[in-house]
Amino acid sequence: MVSKILLNKYSLGYSISFFLITFGTLNLFQSITTKLFIAGAHGMDIIFYLGLVTVFSGILALLAPLVGSFSDKRKQGSRRRPFLIFSIVGMALVTVLYYFSPLDFGINDIFLNIFFFVTLHSIYLFSSLTFSISFQSLYPEMFQNLNSRSMVIALLIGFSALASIIRVLLDAFFYLEIIYSGIIFGLLIILGGIVLFRKGFDEPYRRLLEKPKSTEHSSYKILSSNNKLFKWFLIAFFFLTISELFITTALDYNWLTYIVFVPLSLIEIVTFFLNITPSLFIITFILYWRKLSLSIGIIKLFKILIIALLSLTVALFFLSDFVSGIILTSLINVCLSGLSFVKLLLLAIIIDHYFLNTGKRREATYFGLSYTFNFISGFIGVYLSSFLINFSLLFINPFEAIQTYYFFSKIGLSLFALIFFGFSLILVRKIPIDKEKYDKIEEEISGLNR
């Protein structure tokens, strides 16, 4: 009954706030290279800018568990509220200032514009990292069983897909690179924060945290302790993240192969449908993933999703037309959204398991560690993908250079995606949890909350 009340009271406010904030920040720095080119930046200037941003992203990713630990260890007042306020204000400020750059006022000084955008991008990265960790840390605490958690996670993924659809529609029919856009999107982010704190925020475990059963655990101790559940979770998703990068990059090169033959008059409409269809599929299927997680269990759903991705990756080798390509792209994105769904559910169970053993709620530290490993695996995946793409140059047919380059890039990336998905399927079996175990964890958590 408690969980049902919490679901009705907080889930929509929590999810809608996420939609507003996600929509306000979506594709914020997407046109940054165009802005820098207009300012007079050349190839090396762009590389310098991207290099600085990448280095700062890496430093932040390594510090993510520390950011989470600061939140977890707060003993006075709210653990999450100060970090959420800071991050929401930071993202809103960056969103507004992005459209008030020196370039927008006719100042084309390269150094000044690069310095401005590097500073702005760094503030945004830190704010979005803090928001991501703090916001995600709320749902395992607020929604305390599989039923309510699966619903709110489905809502988050569905609203994220909806934000993508609306943004694609706006980009297609309106010119958004104007000062007023920054003000509107910034206000949407602030509105999302207001909705969160008024309708989607609670910390029900504060009363339990006042009487800890053991001493604090650092992120290092979490990894070095006998925490097999979390370790196998990290290892499995480490390889899955690399697999996801391979398959999504392969899809990009698959479409580039086709676009070589598309008339210029049709490229825009083809790109429009390619951008919007996967999100429509995700919204359609996400509640089905929730239903399966409740009926057959999370681990079985996890295996089904990986097997489905293995099958779809094989099908990618044989694509030959746009219709099948759009359908396959959509199905792959649906399965990837299912993996995100499973990941968030599993991490909440791992956090509960840790709480029952230690008496400590360490949500932010766990999400910080997950963020770090996700960044590292993504970094490795990007470099492996670049290697495979460059390796495909060896097989180029000089008479059809562009087509064969795209074709062999797609084949190489798909092949490695197939290998890594297969390896991930083996690793999933190592995660020491089943339906009986997480039912027991849920029962113990419910008993503590009475």
Integer Cα distance of 369 and 133 in angstroms: 10
Cβ distance 346 to 233 under 8 Å? yes
Cβ distance 217 to 359 under 8 Å? no
| CA Rg value for the chain | 23
Three-state SS for 360? coil
Domains, the chain, ordered by start: 7-204 (1.20.1250.20), 217-450 (1.20.1250)
pTM reported for the whole predicted model = 0.86
pLDDT at 421: 92
Cβ distance 400 to 264 under 8 Å? no
Residues in Cβ contact with 264 at an 8 Å cutoff, skipping those fewer than 6 apart: none
pLDDT at 448: 60
pLDDT at 211: 46
Integer Cα distance of 370 and 130 in angstroms: 14
CA-to-CA separations, 301 to 298, 309, 340, in angstroms, rounded: 5, 12, 12
Integer Cα distance of 248 and 258 in angstroms: 16
Q: What is the DSSP letter of 399?
A: G
Pick from 296, 328, 282, 284: which is nearest to 309 by CA? 328
pLDDT tens digits for the chain (450 residues)? 344 444 557 888 999 999 999 998 887 877 777 777 776 777 787 888 888 888 999 999 999 999 888 888 877 778 889 999 999 999 999 999 988 888 777 777 788 888 888 899 999 999 999 999 999 998 888 887 788 888 999 999 999 999 999 988 887 777 666 777 888 899 999 999 999 999 888 877 665 555 444 444 555 556 555 677 888 888 889 999 999 999 988 887 776 666 555 665 666 777 777 788 888 889 988 888 888 888 888 888 999 999 999 999 998 887 767 777 788 888 999 999 999 999 999 898 888 888 877 777 788 888 999 999 999 998 998 888 888 888 877 777 666 667 777 777 888 888 999 999 999 999 888 887 766 776 777 677 666 655
